[in-house]
A = this chain, B = another copy of it.
C-alpha cells in the first residue's frame, strides 16, 4: 500500500493507494479519531459490487454502520437528493463525532461530501472513490457540491476528507468508456505540471489502459501527488488551483450545451484540452509540435479530439455563464509548454471561434 499525505495544516489527511485494500478499511478508520457511527453513501451499482465488503470491513472493526443509496447519475447530484440524505443521517442517529463514507464515483463523493460538510456544521468524511476520475481528481482536494438546475456544482463547499482510500481493484469493473474518460484527467496532470509524467503516460499507455497494477498505481499516485501539491498551495482556489481546470473551460461549455448527456466529463475535457492547446498556439505559446503531442496522447488513450453537431454560438454563450467567470471575465488555462500552464483572461472571442471552427466543424 502506498501512502500520500495532503498537507493542509489541521485539515491534513492521507491518501492510501493500493491493490485490494478495501478489506483494510476498518483498520484505517480505527486509526482516525472518530465516533462509532458510520453512514456509507453509495449507489446501487457500486453497492452491489463492493458494498458488502466495505460494510463488513468497517463493522468488524467495531463501528455501527448504516447505509444510504442514491440513484446513479449526475442529475441526482441535487439539493433534493441532499435533502433525502440529511433525513438518512438523522435517522442513522449521526452526531458530531460520526462519519460519512462515500463509496462511489464523483457524484457520490461530491454529494456525500456536501452532506458531511454541512450536517451539524461538519462531520468526518472518508472518500472511497471507485472510478479513475474520482481516484485522481474529485476525491482529493475537498471540493464538494451539488448541482443547481442553472449550473453544475453551484452549491457546495471546500471540505477536506479525513482519509481517501483508492483501491485499484475496483477499476476492473468499470466500463471501458468510463475508464478512458477518467484517464483524461490523468493525462491533464502531465500537461499542466509534469513533463516526465507526460512521457511516462506516452510510454506506458498500454499498461495503464490494460490496468497493469504497477503502472496504474503509479499513474494514480502521481496524479494525486500533483493535485495535492496544487491544493496545498491554494486550497480555496484563489489563484493557482484554477490550473486544475485545464481543458475545462471549453469542456464545461460543451457539456452544458449538450445537456450533459452526450459527453462524459473526461471526454469533454479531452476536447477542451485540444482547444486550449490550439488557442495557446494561436497566442504563440505552444508550437505546432506541442499541439500535435496533445492530440496524439489524448487520441492514443481513446479519447476524442474533435466534436461535431454543436452550435458554436451556444458554446460562446455558455462560456460566459460558467461559475469561473468573475465580474464578467472568462479565464482560460493555457500551456506555455508541456508541463507548464498559466491562467489568462481576455482571450479574444475571434480566436476561440477560430479554434472551434478547426476542431468542431459544423
Contact = CB atoms under 8 A, between A and B. Distances in A.
Contact of A121 (B35, B90, B121, B156): B156
A155 interface: yes
Nearest to A325: B95
Interface in A20-43: 35-36
A307 interface: no
Interface residues of A, number: 35
Given A118-B118, A143-B121, A157-B118, A97 B150 contact: no
A90 B153 CA distance: 12
Interface string A143-166: 101001011011111100000000
Given A90-B154, A148-B90, A150-B90, A326 B95 contact: yes
Count of identical protomers in the assembly: 2
B157 A121 contact: yes
Contacts of A357: none
A313 B150 CA distance: 48
A95 B157 contact: no
A117 interface: yes
Greatest chain B CB density within 10 A among A83, A120, A323 is at A120
B326 A157 contact: no
Contacts of A360: none
A292 interface: no
A339 interface: no
A97 B324 CA distance: 10
Nearest to A144: B121
A327 interface: yes
A79 interface: yes
Contact of A86 (B87, B117, B121, B154): B154
Nearest to A324: B96
Interface in A127-152: 143, 145, 148, 150-151
A119 B36 contact: no
Contacts of A323: 95-96, 120
Given A36-B327, A121-B145, 16 more contacts: A79-B83, A86-B148, A86-B155, A90-B150, A97-B327, A117-B157, A118-B156, A119-B155, A120-B154, A120-B156, A120-B323, A121-B143, A121-B156, A121-B158, A121-B237, A122-B157
A90 B117 CA distance: 22
A236 interface: yes
A324 B324 CA distance: 37
Contact of A95 (B90, B119, B327): B327
Closest 5 CB pairs of A and B: A90-B150, A121-B156, A35-B327, A118-B155, A97-B326
Interface string A61-88: 0000000000000000001001100110
Interface string A244-286: 0000000000000000000000000000000000000000000
